Structure 1
């Protein structure tokens, strides 16, 4: 490898060469190879470099790009390569000294400049390769968002999705080809938006409507989950998540997933979190997947099988929740399988499982909490307290 990076990742906007920095222009003039989407290559002036179309799908272009190693090469990407761009995918395949990047203003920056929105308080999402359901946790009246979409037809799909979720009154600003000669801006509500649109396109959303919004605190309403009755209910779930104490970048094993509520709320608490739900019943495993899909949570994996056998090939976890299937064999397996520092939270509702947790807490320490809840319910012509079965929670750091 030469001392200088052989690859320059250049961000290019719809304004083409006019928006390039002097450094980007110089890199293009030095290049022997310029690789990018046909749309970007068509924006460039005449160059001595060989032009190479980036193939579809995107992943097919990575080995081709690497085949140019050692020759001065430019990879063209949209705007800021490292904000929902291709830069990070390219960079992870190369050594740090092999590449450098010259970003241009991102589509988010250009959109904010048209709208007068402060980016620091605006949700920015790349949905060109992600489901529209990724928006669902953020849909609350007053929320502002700028989203990137894969193509023109996705604009209509987004408007239909918002209306179906109860947010058809949301104001949409459709931003096509920002900064270029084809720039077009269209404003309408999600429920009345019509017409056709063309790539590249972003949509700014001012959320409005009466659809249900997900609260930011742990313990969202049970109605947000499809369930057959096997669910860690809202107050208990809030206490469980508090005990699990999710931290950015961590992974949860949810043993006995039921409806998936614990794993889903774990993932909702931060975009870097992931979870694996272990569920022996196929119908419930399917329900967990459907519940996760509703919120665009591809970070939740479902494993069909019974613990401890189903744990054999799983990646390491930082926290484990046992909501079902508690047994002495499972506890013995976990205490030998899990790394020191793993947070373990288990719930017991039967006398036998409570005795098991009591015994293990005497051996390993941690905290035992007995949870007794009651809800007001009709009692003749008046009301009285209807107690739920008490739950014992054991929390320990192994």
Structure 2
């Protein structure tokens, strides 16, 4: 039996501090900082404290996250106060400390988002917040919808220019942009409103402590990308290996993504299933397995273009390429069904409640899906789509190849399917 870790004598206290520094703190936060034996924070935050905060000052090392448990252990018997910008539990150090500290006390300060919404008169419940701190700017693309308001947490002085460039590139050049700097401090400033199209190439860098406000407006000639699966096929760069729009929407419906879940997308092709899985919620994750390196590179480009640069692309053949992957909540097999043992390996990797969906257009793979249904149960359906096309001076239907789809959920008491 593993012995319990000793409980430290004092909780770790996290104090939110704004650009207004010491004078902006309530007395309860000041008291904690005066009494702390160890003061941890970034150089800018520590410089805001007066000499009466006499504790040992420790600057966060880089990278920060791996250092958290080591730093807490090194000062376990002392009063530790950690400084954080604004609200420590909103994209702040509070999350990492909550995962590592035995006891935690958080004294928040208004976040930059709260200040920005107050200055702009934007109800926070109608605003989407996107952080680019330590994250690629491309992830902003998934939040771009006509008429939406965004608050973008900046990584530094160059972020506003990067945001304007991305808006132009993604067809949102008419969007209105403002930069709010040093919110809550003596040097607070809001730039004049402009559009991303009008943003000058030689625009001076912003103050490093800034947030970008965006009112999204799509250019008339830009493609409309909705919030649900089934994006236009033209949104993807592809070589023909693409799950088409209507089949893609039905496939994502069967996969049923939920926040925080991980998908294996096997035989990625153009990456459309993994990409649209991740677009359903910012916390959804996906790994795409594609054996063709040219297609794997294309998937990466599509993911960045469509706002999910965190899509992981593994170049290799399944099932061998699956061995080191984290366990999935759902699996989609869009290619390589005839690889020996692939379906069984995918089923074995799923936890209870996990879903497996596989599509095919060939008779050989259809027979494999029928066998999987006999073993594991689930539903076997045929999806057929026809498009209206000119027939002389009239209009007729052109039938696309029908897709056979098997979908099943892993349960404790499976009910194997039977041939009908």
Does the 8 Å contact 2:12/2:101 carry over to 1? no
Q: Distance in 1 between matches of 2:195 and 2:55?
A: 46
**Selected match of 2:101 from 91, 94, 107:** 94
Does the 8 Å contact 1:131/1:296 carry over to 2? no
Counterpart of 2:158 in structure 1 is 153
Unaligned residue ranges in structure 1 (runs of 5+)? none
1:5 deviation in Å? 2.7
SS at match of 2:100: coil
SS at match of 1:230: coil
Query: Would you say 1:20 and 2:25 are equivalent positions?
Result: yes
SS at match of 1:85: coil
SS at match of 1:92: helix
Counterpart of 1:54 in structure 2 is 60
SS at match of 1:58: coil
1:107 deviation in Å? 0.4
Counterpart of 2:241 in structure 1 is 230
Counterpart of 1:167 in structure 2 is 172
Q: Distance in 2 between matches of 1:123 and 1:171?
A: 15
Q: Distance in 1 between matches of 2:352 and 2:82?
A: 44
Q: Distance in 2 between matches of 1:336 and 1:206?
A: 46
Closer, same or farther in 2 for the Cα pair 1:357/1:55, shift >3 Å? closer
Q: Distance in 1 between matches of 2:65 and 2:352?
A: 38
1:50 deviation in Å? 2.5
Counterpart of 1:352 in structure 2 is 364
Does the 8 Å contact 2:10/2:78 carry over to 1? no
Matches within 5 A, 1:70-85: 70-85=77-92
Counterpart of 2:389 in structure 1 is 377
Matches within 5 A, 1:119-134: 119-134=124-139
Q: Distance in 2 between matches of 1:310 and 1:60?
A: 28
Query: Would you say 1:246 and 2:252 are equivalent positions?
Result: no
State the Cα RMSD in Å: 1.9
Relative to structure 2, which stretch is displaced further, 308-317 or 292-301? 292-301
Q: Distance in 1 between matches of 2:347 and 2:105?
A: 46
Q: Distance in 2 between matches of 1:306 and 1:143?
A: 41
Matches within 5 A, 1:29-40: 29-40=34-45
Relative to structure 2, which stretch is displaced further, 58-67 or 309-318? 58-67
Relative to structure 2, which stretch is displaced further, 188-197 or 79-88? 188-197
Q: Distance in 2 between matches of 1:192 and 1:61?
A: 43
Unaligned residue ranges in structure 2 (runs of 5+)? 1-5, 411-420
Counterpart of 2:211 in structure 1 is 202
* Over 4 Å off, 4+ runs: 1-4
Q: Distance in 2 between matches of 1:354 and 1:389?
A: 13
1:3 deviation in Å? 5.7
SS at match of 2:88: coil
Does the 8 Å contact 2:327/2:349 carry over to 1? no
Deviation track 1:221-255 (CA, whole Å, cap 9, x = no partner) reads 11121111101000000111111111222111111
Closer, same or farther in 2 for the Cα pair 1:148/1:291, shift >3 Å? same
**Selected match of 2:181 from 176, 183, 187:** 176
Query: Would you say 1:368 and 2:347 are equivalent positions?
Result: no
SS at match of 2:211: strand
Relative to structure 2, which stretch is displaced further, 28-37 or 211-220? 211-220
TM-score between the two structures when normalised by the length of structure 1: 0.94
Q: How many residues align?
A: 396
SS at match of 1:130: coil
Does the 8 Å contact 1:175/1:183 carry over to 2? yes
Does the 8 Å contact 1:361/1:367 carry over to 2? yes
